[in-house]
Amino acid sequence: MSAKTPSRLEKILDSGQLAVTSECGPPRGSDPETITKKAEMIKDHVDAINITDNQTSVTRLSSLASCIHLKLMGLEPTLQMVVRDRNRIALQSDILGAASFDIHNILCLSGDHQVFGDSSQGQNVFDLDSMQLIQTVRLMRDEGKFLGGDDIKRPPQMFVGAAANPFADPFEIRVPRLAKKIAAGVEFIQTQCIYNLDKFELWMKQARDRGLHEKVYILAGVTPLRSAGMAKYMKNRVPGMDVPDEVVKRMAGVPKENQPEEGINICVETIQRLKECEGVRGFHIMAIEWEEKVPEIVERSGLYPRLKD
Amino acid sequence: MRLRYPDTIRIIRVPCTGKVDLIHILRAFEKGADGVYVVGCMEGDCRFDNGNLRARKRVEQAQAILDKVGVGGERVKMFNLSSGEGPRFVEYAVEMTEKMEEMGPNPIKIAMQKAA
Amino acid sequence: MIVADKKPIEEIIDMVKGYQKILIAGCNECVTVCEAGGKKEVGVLASALRMYFMNEGEKIEVDEITLERQCDHEYLEEIRNSIDQYDAVVSLACGVGVQFMAEKYFGTPVYPGVNTCFMGVTEERGVWSERCQGCGQCILGKTAGICPISRCAKRLLNGPCGGSTQGKCEISKDLDCAWQLIIDRLKELDRLDEYEEIAPIKDWSTERAGGPRKVVREDVRQ
């Protein structure tokens, strides 16, 4: 696979190195400093920074605007785009908006249902699904065309990503679903955060059996646990999340003030183990509201320094 | 058994309380009845399996409606007994009568009398 | 059938306050089956309204009728000769019937007595659930007879999403994940390999998005 876009993330993955990405959640207000400060904290330790898109359906400063702020800082943003809130006109329009600022990474997502957030009485859109959004970005980039068929002046040059969740049900189609996204045109994958390493490695094995690891760059998602309470919450209350009992026990087995450190230990150990997993081409560290720990995680995992160009 | 029960009660016999529909209960109140009660077999013993369970549900619906229209849901009630329990039948009759005396006449009846 | 649910009586009372003579009009079809607006429900509502207004000391005459349907001219014509005596009609038909009645009897206020909900099935008495949203281009042949548009909360044509848990939708444990159902059935029909076919972007112009819809059949028009 050779780089098709000016994306820095693509270049690093292409070179065979392990990539490191992380994410920032925008504020519930219009102060860009929240984003720029978080980005400052992690910028030397990651290759690209995802900006979430109204995550959990809670209205926030838009992902696109936040990505522009990062771009203006000279950083490499990844635009997360959900299909819950925008029809095909708005999706294509925002893609062009991002491209006009030379934002080169996009993550195509379904989006959590609005019932979870602050607007449960609102409409949702789902004009396209995430699979079709992947196809759309590829169409816009590779053929320079809108969905309607007209030509695009200065087509977007975006490196196309999507999410994968090896822990959602039904397990038996999770690898076929990965294959489907690859067929739709996805180029990199960020997985849901991993606590159940056995299950993840099983999913990777099935993906390798089909040769999928050579058709897409898979970045393993990790999230450091801050407390036993957080582990329990994620285990029981977050759909599509798999937190094994041993992990909860391990967190609970440590005094409260030491739990954050233990969570980081688990995170680092996960990364170390998965470095050995064939097909894992990098790591996506999701430490929402705990971004200050990302540098430590990256360093202790032996992934520092990052390549500077 | 020839036991006595209050003479202000009109008995309407049905083959099973499952035959009693919501509208029958409501119409009685519309026409001025102070109270309506439904006496069915013990739950689990209904010869038609669940007629008395349906009756109970309909009584509950009637209670909700009567509360909303200002008549009062307590004027309708469901009782269960087995056919041999004469004394219990009297007990229920007395209970309903006393309750209705306590609640006073159906406001619909009063309104009808006023309009006349 | 079209599934509807009774409006709370307080709402209906509010609608008819002040009228002297009203007609409660039920429908013998869908709303009868889902026990929201048939003859029985008409009777109950009429009785309740009479009692309420009598209690309030207000005079009101409440008549009852149940028409075969309220979505065909012929059946609505049945009240042509009697409609003018009423100040208002409360129609317990679905939204379709309420509107058709209002169109036909232009000078008579017509109020809805039920909330029209969806096209669905009777799972068991007292439980009705949605099956169809009338997208206008049925894809059930491709999805093993289960509709992802009406049964997936995100109407994903290439589902499931990452929130599907133990066969249930992320938004509620009581809701089956439509894609789990589709996958189960594809397996049963030995067609699981079809799962990897990418469903194309949908043409929503035949759905609500394209504007109010019409079906015209020239071959049967007179």
Res C107 pLDDT > 90? yes
Q: Which domains does chain C have, with CATH numbers?
A: 2-118 (3.40.50.2300), 133-206 (no CATH)
pLDDT of residue C115: 98
pLDDT of residue A296: 97
Give the chain A residue nearest C170 (alpha carbons). Answer: A239
Token pair for A88: 């095909």
**CB pair distance less than 8 Å for C55 and B107:** yes
Residue-averaged pLDDT of chain C: 96
Res A1 pLDDT > 70? no
First to last CA, chain B: 42
- Cβ atoms of A106 and C169 within 8 Å: the answer is no
| ipTM (interface pTM) | 0.92
For residue C128, what pLDDT band results from cuts at 50, 70 and 90?
A: very high
Chain C hits for B108, CB-CB cut-off 8 Å, are: 51, 54-55
CB count in 10 Å sphere of residue A107: 29
Q: Which domains does chain A have, with CATH numbers?
A: 17-298 (3.20.20.220)
- Read off the pLDDT of residues A267-281 as tens digits, 9 standing for 90 and up: 999 999 999 999 999
- Read off the pLDDT of residues A216-237 as tens digits, 9 standing for 90 and up: 999 999 999 999 999 999 999 8
Please state whether beta strands C2-6 and C114-124 pair in parallel, antiparallel, or not at all (unpaired).
Answer: antiparallel
pLDDT of residue A187: 98
CB count in 10 Å sphere of residue A30: 9
For residue B83, what pLDDT band results from cuts at 50, 70 and 90?
A: confident
- Read off the pLDDT of residues C136-154 as tens digits, 9 standing for 90 and up: 999 999 999 999 999 999 9
List, in order, residues 6 or more apart from C154 with CB less than 8 Å away. A84, A110, A111, A113, A124, A126, A129, C161
The CA distance from C149 to C156, in Å, is: 7
Chain position carrying tokens 């789902």: A126
pLDDT of residue B4: 85
The mean pLDDT value for A130-151 works out to 98
Q: Which of A77, A186, A173, A179 has its CA nearest to residue A130?
A: A186
Beta bridge partners of C63: C23
pTM above 0.90, yes or no: yes
**CB pair distance less than 8 Å for C48 and B65:** yes
Query: How far off is chain C from B63, nearest CA to CA, in Å?
Result: 11
**CB pair distance less than 8 Å for A239 and C154:** no
B interface residues, C as partner, C-beta within 8 Å: 21-23, 26-27, 29-30, 65-66, 68-71, 107-108, 111-112, 114-115
List, in order, residues 6 or more apart from A301 with CB less than 8 Å away. A268, A271, A272, A275, A283
List, in order, residues 6 or more apart from A299 with CB less than 8 Å away. A45
The CA distance from B37 to B20, in Å, is: 11
Q: Which of C39, C189, C15, C36 has its CA nearest to residue C111?
A: C15
Chain B hits for C48, CB-CB cut-off 8 Å, are: 26, 65, 68-69
The mean pLDDT value for C105-118 works out to 97
- Read off the pLDDT of residues A62-101 as tens digits, 9 standing for 90 and up: 999 999 999 999 999 999 999 999 999 999 999 999 999 9
For residue B114, what pLDDT band results from cuts at 50, 70 and 90?
A: confident
Which residues in C72-89 are b (16+ Cβ under 10 Å) and which e? Answer: eeebbeebeeebeebebb
- Cβ atoms of A9 and A188 within 8 Å: the answer is yes
**CB pair distance less than 8 Å for C155 and A179:** no
pLDDT of residue C40: 97
For residue C1, what pLDDT band results from cuts at 50, 70 and 90?
A: very high
Mutate to test the interface with C, among B19, B24, B26 (most CBs of C within 10 A): B26
CB count in 10 Å sphere of residue A156: 22
List, in order, residues 6 or more apart from C26 with CB less than 8 Å away. C32, C37, C38, C39, C41, C42, C64, C65, C66, C67, C92, C93
DSSP state of C83: G
Chain C hits for B54, CB-CB cut-off 8 Å, are: none
The CA distance from A304 to B47, in Å, is: 80
pLDDT of residue B100: 95
